[in-house]
A and B are shown apart, each in its own frame.
Chain A
Amino acid sequence: MCLLLTACAAITATLLWYFRDADKDLRLGFLALMYWGAALMWTVDGFFCVAEGEPFLDLSANDALLGLVIVVCGLIVWLLSLLIRDPRQKVLPGIRRA
């Protein structure tokens, strides 16, 4: 489930990057690359699991919860990078106004 959820997140982020992030303001390319990297790594891990006689996908509820935690962690990293890079120049003026 972890692999499936990360792959779904990667596909969603890629589609959003392609259709909604023409000015690269949202740094969705970074989010998509992060999820794709993880999805590829878990795919490799899945093949090694099969070689050891384990199933390719772990469909347990615990692994689904882990998948959700991982997707949320990816979103947090992306949000932090967005706030630090601040491509729309909104963070510093906002802090000054507050």
Chain B
Amino acid sequence: MACFLAPVAEAIVVSAIKKNVEHKEAAACRQAAEDAPAETAAATAAIPFSRKLGWLSKMLWGGSFLLAIEHIWHGEVVPWPPFLTAMNNPADIQPMLTEILAVGGAMMVVVTAAWLLMLLAVKRLENKAAQTPLAAGGEG
């Protein structure tokens, strides 16, 4: 009915956190460049956390958008108020909310779990690259 609304809510929160982290990272980077310029290059070699949050944000926004297209196709979402056809009938509101919580919540959990797996894989690659700096530098 409107299960994509739960991932949209998570996407809004993740985007806000990403903006905040970006500001903090930029400030930390400026501070590090002032304190120890030589170490800044080594510190920036790792992927910033804001960029990793961007992957989750893209999966959530992109997936929700494509799911919204499906809901429009099935006539569950319309471009006029109240936008969700289930809202027209009071008897449908409760099942709609249940679906948003159950299906949408499960979608949020699965997408976030996939992102956490991505982070683990990236961490392993970063550790591997840190252990063989000469090989990594030689390829570039």
Interface residues of A (CB under 8 A from B): 2, 6, 30, 33-45, 47-48, 66, 69-70, 73-74, 77
In the bound complex, how far is the Cα of B59 from the Cα of A80, in angstroms? 17
Q: Which of B28-36, B39-47, B61-69, B122-130 contacts A (4 or more CB under 8 A)?
A: B61-69
Please, which residues of chain A bring their CB within 8 A of the CB of B107? 40-41, 44-45
Number of interface residues of B (CB under 8 A): 24
In the bound complex, how far is the Cα of B42 from the Cα of A47, in angstroms? 45
Please, which residues of chain B bring their CB within 8 A of the CB of A33? 55, 58-59, 62
Please, which residues of chain B bring their CB within 8 A of the CB of A38? 62-63, 66-67
B interface: dominant SS: helix
- Tell me if A34 and B70 are in contact (CB < 8 A): no
In the bound complex, how far is the Cα of B61 from the Cα of A77, in angstroms? 11
Please, which residues of chain B bring their CB within 8 A of the CB of A73? 65-66, 69
A interface: dominant SS: helix
Query: B80 on the interface (CB 8 Å rule)?
Result: no
In the bound complex, how far is the Cα of B58 from the Cα of A34, in angstroms? 6
Query: B77 on the interface (CB 8 Å rule)?
Result: no
Q: Knowing that A38-B66, A45-B3 touch, tell me 15 more A-B residue pairs with CB under 8 angstroms.
A: A33-B58, A34-B62, A34-B65, A37-B7, A37-B61, A41-B3, A41-B63, A41-B110, A42-B67, A44-B103, A44-B106, A44-B107, A66-B70, A66-B73, A69-B73
